[in-house]
């Protein structure tokens, strides 16, 4: 528990971050003392009415008055400012909020600070929160505050402060984790590169194939139609392929676990990355499918989708003397209606799956409901999407069975079928029971599993001792990327 004296907190620096932090701490019920090199020149109280209530003093006085000090200055000034006060900081908690301009694998600002003031307990925290978010308390970005320090009690004290300020502290352990914490604000969508790259390559492959089929081999469409008619097909095929790729790895994970007869062996690297990218893949497929829905709605007419509508042939007599009134009402064929129905249902269910990933909705669901929406409903959306493709494709396959292997509807439904069949296999009661047993911790005592387990433990120990203890890229720190929101949380 935090002691009463810790209700007074010192902040060194009077810059943008220091002012926002001071205001937030004050509004959270703390007494705040601000330390400046030139307190007489730091007119901070004029900028905000909250700040009028804070005490402003010299750096030295501030350090002497409190036991927890936030260092709201840039790392290059650490030595200048603290060099003369090393003794006065003995036993105190110094929170380093600084960020770097570029990542460093070998050292962090916080570790450097700890070498400057070895008798103090340096805590890395709050660097991932912007001054704007501190001051305005809007839900503009993540509320997570990552915390690292070699002193367990200091970590607890700073975690309590973060909680009192309405943030979520995430304890990452020793100060070496500061390397990863400092890297965090420098990252730009780190989890999206692979899924986006995969989608772009897939899209290009489908588009080139369509151009080959429609323009080179069969000359079916005019080049004018490439922007909507043809592109829409490429987008649709990419969307359904990416959607099946979103759900496929959960079955691969089950195969992996059944093969080794345990859940205590790490997934192969490629499978692990694939599983972690399901959220991104799901959102990409949803975006593509939304574009497909919009484009299809725009071109919904007998001119574009001839086989979806009944056609009426009207023969006008050669030597017509009188005008005839001809009524020509065309309604949809069963194919058009069935394709619309399955497409609309699939898209609506997919919307529900996506909405359930919003934090406010996800928080209102229990684990079973979450799994039901993400896994069961997601697979139903995929099934309906495949039926949508089949409805459009089967009449053509029956008419021309020899060309089925070239049909885009056939090719784009292979992977979704594989995904659905594997899922079906793993829902067979006996198989499902066996996988559930493994996921609850049961292990098949087989040489294969034991040998793999022993090898992995050795590898882990070796990695821990030699490399990962110092490497911010290692998997030793808890994974704090956006794992909460996933399209299928089977594992
Ligand atoms: P800033 O506006 O430039 O303020 C830095 C303060 O450091 C100055 O006001 C100054 O206060 C003090 N300082 C102490 N020694 C200094 C020296 N030798 N030379 C110049 N200034 C000295 O910077 P900031 O934006 O508040 O950022 C402060 C720290 O917070 C940085 O490490 C930054 O990486 C981190 N941070 C900032 C944000 C943000 O949104 N701004 C977000 C996360 C982390 P006195 O003159 O009163 O001593």
Burial 37-61 (b: 16+ CB within 10 A, else e): bebeebebeeebebbeebebbebee
Q: For residue 332, give Cα distances in angstroms to 77, 176, 220, 339, 343.
A: 74, 66, 22, 10, 15
Residue identifier of the C-alpha nearest atom 7 of ligand 1: 73
Instruction: Please give the pLDDT value at position 447.
Output: 66
Cβ neighbours of residue 165 closer than 8 Å, sequence gap 6 or more: 24, 25, 28
Number of structural domains the chain divides into? 2
Instruction: Please give the pLDDT value at position 139.
Output: 57
What is the CA(351)–ligand 1 centre distance, in A? 44
Q: Phi/psi zone of residue 219: left (φ > 0), alpha (ψ -120 to 50 degrees), beta?
A: left
Whether residue 131 has its Cβ less than 6 Å from ligand 1? yes
Residue identifier of the C-alpha nearest atom 20 of ligand 1: 77
- Ligand 1 atom closest to the Cα of residue 80 is 18
Do 242 and 157 form a contact (C-beta atoms < 8 A)? Answer: no
Q: Helix, strand or coil for residue 80?
A: helix
Residue identifier of the C-alpha nearest atom 35 of ligand 1: 98
Question: Domain boundary residue among 186, 202, 231?
Answer: 186
Cβ neighbours of residue 460 closer than 8 Å, sequence gap 6 or more: none
Instruction: Please give the pLDDT value at position 146.
Output: 97
Same-domain status, 367 and 401: yes
Same-domain status, 166 and 278: no
What is the CA(165)–ligand 1 centre distance, in A? 21
Q: Is residue 325 part of a domain?
A: no
Same-domain status, 153 and 223: no
Q: What tens digit of pLDDT does each residue of 255-278 get?
A: 999 999 988 888 999 999 999 999
Same-domain status, 235 and 182: no
Of 170, 244, 255, nearest to 481 by C-alpha is 170
What is the CA(35)–ligand 1 centre distance, in A? 12
Q: What tens digit of pLDDT does each residue of 273-297 get?
A: 999 999 999 999 999 999 999 999 9
Q: What tens digit of pLDDT does each residue of 115-136 get?
A: 999 999 999 999 999 999 898 8
Q: Helix, strand or coil for residue 8?
A: strand
Whether residue 73 has its Cβ less than 6 Å from ligand 1? yes
Strands 121-124 and 144-149, sheet pairing: antiparallel
Q: Is residue 317 part of a domain?
A: no
Question: Domain boundary residue among 186, 209, 234?
Answer: 186
Of 480, 411, 462, 445, nearest to 148 by C-alpha is 480
Number of neighbouring beta carbons within 10 Å of residue 186? 12
Of 131, 123, 129, nearest to 178 by C-alpha is 123
Q: Is residue 42 part of a domain?
A: yes
Cβ neighbours of residue 95 closer than 8 Å, sequence gap 6 or more: 68, 69, 70, 71, 122, 123, 124, 125, 126, 158
Instruction: Please give the pLDDT value at position 327.
Output: 72
Range of the domain at 26: 7-186
Same-domain status, 69 and 141: yes
Task: Tell me the CB-side half-sphere exposure of residue 232, using CA atoms within 13 A.
Answer: 16
What is the CA(155)–ligand 1 centre distance, in A? 23
What is the CA(188)–ligand 1 centre distance, in A? 23
Question: Domain boundary residue among 137, 162, 186?
Answer: 186
**DSSP letters of 177-242?**
GHHHHHHGGG-SSTTTHHHHHHHHHHHHHHHHHHHIIIIIIS--S-GGGGTTHHHHHHHHHHHHHH
Same-domain status, 389 and 253: yes
Q: Is residue 467 part of a domain?
A: no
Cβ neighbours of residue 339 closer than 8 Å, sequence gap 6 or more: 308, 388, 391, 392
Q: For residue 208, give Cα distances in angstroms to 140, 205, 212, 216, 292.
A: 41, 5, 6, 10, 18
Q: Is residue 248 part of a domain?
A: yes
Same-domain status, 182 and 197: no
Do 370 and 380 form a contact (C-beta atoms < 8 A)? Answer: no
Same-domain status, 94 and 205: no
Q: What is the block-wise mean pLDDT of the chain (491 residues), using blocks of 10 residues?
A: 69 95 94 94 74 89 97 97 93 97 88 96 96 76 90 97 95 96 91 96 97 90 92 97 97 94 91 95 97 96 89 77 73 95 98 93 94 95 97 94 93 97 97 94 77 67 46 33 36 40
Do 69 and 11 form a contact (C-beta atoms < 8 A)? Answer: yes
- Ligand 1 atom closest to the Cα of residue 81 is 15
Q: Helix, strand or coil for residue 53?
A: helix
Instruction: Please give the pLDDT value at position 206.
Output: 97
């Amino acid at each position: 528990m935090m002691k009463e004296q810790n209700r007074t907190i010192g902040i060194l620096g009077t810059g943008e971050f220091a002012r926002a932090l001071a205001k937030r701490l004050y509004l959270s019920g703390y007494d705040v003392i601000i330390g400046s090199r030139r307190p007489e020149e730091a007119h901070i109280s004029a900028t905000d009415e909250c700040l009028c209530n804070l005490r402003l003093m010299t750096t030295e006085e501030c350090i002497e008055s409190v036991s927890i000090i936030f260092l709201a200055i840039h790392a290059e000034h650490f030595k200048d400012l603290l060099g003369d006060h090393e003794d006065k900081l003995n036993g105190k908690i110094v929170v380093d909020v600084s960020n770097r301009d570029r990542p460093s694998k070998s050292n962090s600002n916080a570790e450097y600070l700890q070498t400057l003031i070895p008798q103090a307990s340096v805590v890395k925290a709050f660097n991932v929160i912007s001054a704007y978010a501190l001051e305005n308390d809007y839900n503009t970005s993540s509320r997570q505050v990552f915390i690292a320090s070699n002193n367990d009690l200091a970590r607890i004290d700073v975690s309590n402060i973060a909680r009192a300020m309405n943030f979520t502290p995430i304890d990452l352990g020793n100060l070496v984790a500061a390397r990863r914490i400092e890297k965090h604000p420098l990252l730009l969508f780190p989890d999206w590169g692979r899924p986006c790259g995969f989608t772009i390559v897939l899209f290009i492959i489908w588009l080139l194939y369509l151009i080959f089929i429609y323009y080179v081999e069969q000359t079916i469409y005019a080049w004018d139609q490439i922007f909507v008619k043809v592109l829409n097909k490429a987008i649709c095929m990419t969307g359904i392929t990416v959607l099946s790729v979103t759900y496929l790895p959960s079955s691969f994970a089950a195969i992996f676990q059944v093969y080794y007869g345990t859940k205590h062996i790490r997934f192969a690297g490629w499978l692990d990355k694939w599983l972690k990218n399901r959220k991104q893949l799901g959102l990409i497929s949803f975006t593509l499918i939304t574009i497909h829905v919009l484009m299809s709605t725009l071109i919904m007419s007998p001119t574009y989708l001839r086989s979806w509508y009944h056609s009426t042939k009207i023969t006008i007599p050669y030597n017509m003397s009188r005008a005839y009134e001809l009524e020509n009402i065309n309604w949809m064929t069963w194919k058009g209606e069935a394709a619309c129905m399955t497409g609309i249902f699939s898209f609506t269910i997919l919307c529900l799956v996506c909405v359930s990933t919003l934090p406010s909705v996800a928080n209102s669901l229990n684990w079973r409901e979450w799994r039901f929406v993400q896994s069961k409903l997601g697979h139903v959306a995929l099934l309906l999407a495949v039926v949508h493709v089949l409805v459009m494709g089967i009449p053509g396959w029956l008419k021309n069975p020899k060309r089925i292997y070239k049909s885009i509807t056939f090719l784009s439904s292979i992977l979704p079928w594989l995904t659905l069949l594997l899922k079906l296999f793993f829902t067979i009661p006996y198989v499902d029971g066996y996988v559930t047993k493994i996921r609850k911790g049961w292990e098949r005592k087989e040489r294969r599993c034991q040998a793999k387990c022993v090898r992995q433990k050795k590898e882990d120990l070796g990695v821990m001792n030699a490399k990962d203890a110092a490497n911010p890229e290692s998997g030793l720190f808890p994974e704090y990327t956006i794992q909460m929101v996933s399209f299928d949380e089977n594992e």
